[in-house]
Amino acid sequence: MDQLDLWTDTATRSAIVDFVERVDRDGIPVAERVAVFDNDGTLWTEKPVQIQMQFVFALWAKMADADPSLASQQPFKAVVDRDFGWLSDAVDKHYAGDDTDMKTLMAGTVRASAGQEVEAYTASAKAFLDSGTHPSLGIPFARCVFAPMVELLRYLEAHDFTTYIASGGDRDFMRGAGEDLYAIPRERVIGSSLGLRYADGNVSYAPEMGFFDDGPEKPVRIWSRIGRKPLLVGGNSNGDVPMLEFCRDDGLQLLVHHDDGDREFAYDAGAEEALKAAADKGWTTVSMRDDWAAVFPDSET
């Protein structure tokens, strides 16, 4: 699969193919052919709530089962009551500048994993993704990836690019599944992390956030991991703007636009600045509706 069969014959597809042909023609060294993609909303669906959070909700439900006193406290209460409005409002309020509920949500996320050994956590995340189903799309999580983007990963690799994920989501959650979902190995998954502690031969999660890999932290983490500016960067939201700016001058920036309410979800919320930056700076906007022949794998849509 080294062709872009799932991309319709539009200016977007041409921009990608022309760029990759130029990279080959100019003989840009293989070591410099680094392609970095955001994950949520860029490589797989992020609505109505990020898939990682659905994993966290399952952990909270188990915790509230084990300790019923949690059922009256947020964020556990929202999961026990199936009050997904509280959870999505927390995220919306965060983007609107009010962090109160987001802090409660993050504290619950930290608490769900604190003390756990890192390899065990990665394995449990993989088991969740292998077995679960998306609540509103009704398809397995493993099929929530955007098939044209997976095809693009393979196309780039066929042209000697090395592909990375730089996610705002939890790094170790995605590592458990990245190999199966995207054929991207663990060492090429960059993302947020809880604090880590070493003791007695093992690394475990600390009861505190480590860092949040979003916005200006993304280029910092990309440099820390890779040691190069990327030659291609793909994103979809405001938090991806610094990473898109951190692309080489001779590189390509792709911004996935969620404009396909029939096949996925249509929304600009959280992407307003990114869409404006794409227009101002000449980044290539990918219309899910117009540029993709299919959205999810093994489907006619």
Q: Which residues bind a copy of itself (CB under 8 A)?
A: 31, 118-119, 122, 162, 171-172, 175, 179, 185-187, 189, 193, 196-203, 216-220, 223-229, 242, 245-246
| CA–CA dist 105, 270 (Å, integer) | 19
Q: HSE-up of 23 (CA within 13 Å, CB side)?
A: 27
Grouping H, G, I as helix, E, B as strand and the rest as coil, residue 256 is strand
Using the minimum distance from each CB to a copy of itself, give the nearer residue, 9 or 130.
130
Rounded to the nearest whole angstrom, what is the least distance from the CB of residue 220 to a copy of itself in the complex?
4
Rounded to the nearest whole angstrom, what is the least distance from the CB of residue 130 to a copy of itself in the complex?
17
| CA–CA dist 178, 243 (Å, integer) | 20
Using the minimum distance from each CB to a copy of itself, give the nearer residue, 138 or 201.
201
Rounded to the nearest whole angstrom, what is the least distance from the CB of residue 218 to a copy of itself in the complex?
8
SS3 string, 36-69, reads: EECCECCCECCCCCCHHHHHHHHHHHHHHHHCHH
Using the minimum distance from each CB to a copy of itself, give the nearer residue, 53 or 118.
118
Using the minimum distance from each CB to a copy of itself, give the nearer residue, 45 or 162.
162
Using the minimum distance from each CB to a copy of itself, give the nearer residue, 98 or 117.
117
Using the minimum distance from each CB to a copy of itself, give the nearer residue, 162 or 284.
162
State which amino acid sits at residue 276. Answer: K
Edge-to-edge strand list for the sheet holding 162-170: 202-211, 189-199, 162-170, 34-37, 232-235, 252-257, 284-287
Rounded to the nearest whole angstrom, what is the least distance from the CB of residue 199 to a copy of itself in the complex?
8
| CA–CA dist 113, 107 (Å, integer) | 10
Rounded to the nearest whole angstrom, what is the least distance from the CB of residue 183 to a copy of itself in the complex?
11
Grouping H, G, I as helix, E, B as strand and the rest as coil, residue 140 is strand
Q: HSE-up of 49 (CA within 13 Å, CB side)?
A: 18
Rounded to the nearest whole angstrom, what is the least distance from the CB of residue 223 to a copy of itself in the complex?
5
DSSP annotation string for 158-220: HTTPEEEEEEEEEHHHHHHHHHHHH---GGGEEEEEEEEEEETTEEEEEEEEEE---TTHHHH
| CA–CA dist 277, 261 (Å, integer) | 23
Rounded to the nearest whole angstrom, what is the least distance from the CB of residue 187 to a copy of itself in the complex?
5
Using the minimum distance from each CB to a copy of itself, give the nearer residue, 55 or 246.
246
| CA–CA dist 215, 121 (Å, integer) | 26
Using the minimum distance from each CB to a copy of itself, give the nearer residue, 74 or 192.
192
SS3 string, 220-231, reads: HHHHHHHCCCCC
Rounded to the nearest whole angstrom, what is the least distance from the CB of residue 127 to a copy of itself in the complex?
16
